[in-house]
Amino acid sequence: MNVLEVRGVGKQFGGLVALDKVDFDVRKGSITAVIGPNGAGKTTFFNLVTGVYRPDCGEILFDGRSVVGLRPDRVTALGLARTFQNIRLFADLSVVDNVLIAMHRRLTSGILDILLNRRKTRIEERRALGEVYGLLEYLGLEPWINEPAKNLPYGIQRRLEIARALATRPKLLLLDEPAAGMSPRETRELTDLIRRLRDDFDLTVLLIEHDMKLVMNISERIMVLDYGRAIAEGTPEEIRSHPKVIEAYLGHSAVS
């Protein structure tokens, strides 16, 4: 069963074709990767799936429902969450508050309830904080709970972004270059974490990544983009030896 189905999706910026009628499926419960050289269209693909951009053509189905034209917050409400290539945390807010913000869509108290400090609001707040502390413990972020996000080490900021995404209770988690800037040890820990997230939270994971060792170790299927076109799709073993993939990364002479 597919949780995400992309059919003939294209996006153009002026004269630049960022994505050229891409077809792609993501199976429920899988760990799937999107790879390709810089400028291949990977982040554009994520932005189309999450509602940041609207495609010029094609269809995007999440859990059987079209998400084309929906705002990013509505896409998130359906169960699709993401992290970003360039970390986007609330720098001056604490670790707890960064994650708590992501839970706002699941809270029902209005402004009047908050001003009057109603019992319903207090119960919701306690429940939300309990869930946030649970996520922070799971991700090993307890030592930094009250620390402003801007003071965190880089690898910990990446984990905080994941915690914030998990707070929305997603079905599909999109990770945009989660290993960027990490040390080899941090990358190994991230690989283990992604597997645990999939299993423990019953998630489907879709990631963009340049670290080919991580991709080949963790992915069950891979799509390769080059100049906005999907040039290959398959298992890590199939992708590793695919002539078009080798050419895209190393040039025509490498294939010859």
Q: What is the pLDDT of residues 80-123, one digit of tens each?
A: 999 988 888 999 999 999 998 887 766 665 665 555 567 666 66
pLDDT above 70 as % of the chain: 90
Domain residues for 74?
1-79+170-256
Phi, psi (5° rounding) for residue 238? -70, -40
Model pTM score? 0.88
Q: State CA 214 to chain mean position distance.
A: 16
Q: Indicate if the pLDDT at residue 4 is higher than 60.
A: yes
- 120 with 174, same domain? no
Q: Indicate if the pLDDT at residue 47 is higher than 90.
A: yes
Residues near 190 by beta carbon (within 8 Å), at least 6 away in sequence: 158, 178, 179, 182, 214
Indicate the residue among 150, 169, 188 that finishes a domain.
169
Residue 181 pLDDT: 84
What distance in Å separates the CA atoms of residue 89 and residue 95, rounded to the nearest whole number?
9
Burial class (CB in 10 A: 0-12, 13-18, 19+), 109: middle
Q: Tens of pLDDT along 11-44?
A: 999 889 999 999 999 999 999 999 998 889 999 9
Higher pLDDT, 250 or 75: 75
CA 201, 174, 219, 214 torsion-angle sign: negative
Mean pLDDT of the chain: 89
Indicate the residue among 135, 169, 203 that finishes a domain.
169
What distance in Å separates the CA atoms of residue 187 and residue 229, rounded to the nearest whole number?
28
Q: How confident is the model at residue 254 (pLDDT cuts 50, 70, 90)?
A: very low
Integer angstrom CA distances of residue 22 from 75, 116, 155: 20, 51, 32
- 120 with 245, same domain? no
Q: Tens of pLDDT along 113-170?
A: 555 567 666 667 778 788 899 999 999 999 999 999 999 998 899 999 999 999 999 9
Please give the radius of gyration of the chain, using alpha carbons only, rounded to the nearest integer.
Answer: 19
Q: Tens of pLDDT along 185-195?
A: 999 999 999 99
Q: How confident is the model at residue 253 (pLDDT cuts 50, 70, 90)?
A: very low
- 42 with 72, same domain? yes
Number of structural domains found in the chain: 2
Taking the CA atoms of residue 247, residue 251, residue 253 and residue 255 in that order, the dihedral angle to the nearest 10 degrees is: -10
Residue 217 pLDDT: 93
Indicate the residue among 169, 192, 212 that finishes a domain.
169
Give the tokens for residue 118: 């109603």
Place of tokens 């709970």: 145
What distance in Å separates the CA atoms of residue 94 and residue 90, rounded to the nearest whole number?
8
- What's at 156, amino acid-wise? I
CATH code: domain of residue 215: 3.40.50.300
Phi, psi (5° rounding) for residue 230? -80, 110
Residue 85 pLDDT: 83
- 125 with 103, same domain? yes
Q: Indicate if the pLDDT at residue 54 is higher than 80.
A: yes
